Amino acid sequence: MPDPLPQCYLNGEYLALRDARISPLDRGFLFGDSVYEVLPVFGGRMFLFREHFDRLARSLREIRLENPHTHEQWRGILDQLIALNGGGSDSYIYVQVSRGMEYGRNHAFPAVVKPTVFVMASPMPVFTDEQRATGLSAITLEDFRWGRCDIKSTSLLANVLMKQQAADAGASEALIVRDGQVLEGSSSSVFIVKGGVLITPPNSHRILPGTTRDAALSLATNVMPIEIRSIALEELRAADEVWISAATRDVLPVTRVDGAPIGSGRPGPAWLRMADSFLQLRQQLADTPADTPGR
């Protein structure tokens, strides 16, 4: 019987995920001293590879950890992993780089240590026909995360607690609010549409720069007006449409916030156009020759 768990990559070796092991002294395990990235794969083809790995490189710089690979080396690792896991399916790749392992537990950086590099593939979550027809629900929560949310750090306990609070309320996402301003979701970027204008908060230390968010803004250019500015909680609740975006979900409609409907309470026309634009973008990816740089 074949192993139901996929192949992964750990420190230069491809192996079954069930056989992957790291030391309990790894600083990612002890301190959350690590960063990560998530890359969607459609039909075996990586989507927005350079944008995602530019963000990984930035996160590594911000925690003063040297990038263990060039973009092309990363691409080679991921290409082989995708092939080992069937090649042609929709999936997402999770990449984590920690500062590595030392003998002991010291808060200061170790003098010499080799980073731990881990990569795995997982099936892409499915957005059902029912969800497409009805949209998602969300709750709002006051921000209690650390001050550098622009770094894609694995220190995600606050986000985990927020996501669970949303799940406890029967919602799909928690929208994070600080000082009356909507920042992002616990695992997503956020947009509103009001009067035909697409609005999303500006990047800051309180917000993770979203690659899918940027792709959505690019698709919306010349289609509708765009404003990059703060969004008050009252604006969110009064919006015609609310969207969230993430690497594993493209852009999804939020039709209820804190139990109250957004707009008509159904996915709106602007989101339907955006969803079609993402489908066309995927098709362009499928039609691009496999050896095209930057695919």
Q: Which residues carry out catalysis?
A: 152
Round to whole Å and give the CA distance between 216 and 191.
Answer: 10
What strand order describes the sheet that includes 13-16?
Answer: 13-16, 7-10, 116-123, 91-98, 34-42, 45-46
List, in order, residues 6 or more apart from 44 with CB less than 8 Å away: 82, 86, 87, 88, 89
Q: Please tell me the total number of residues recorded for the chain in this structure.
A: 295
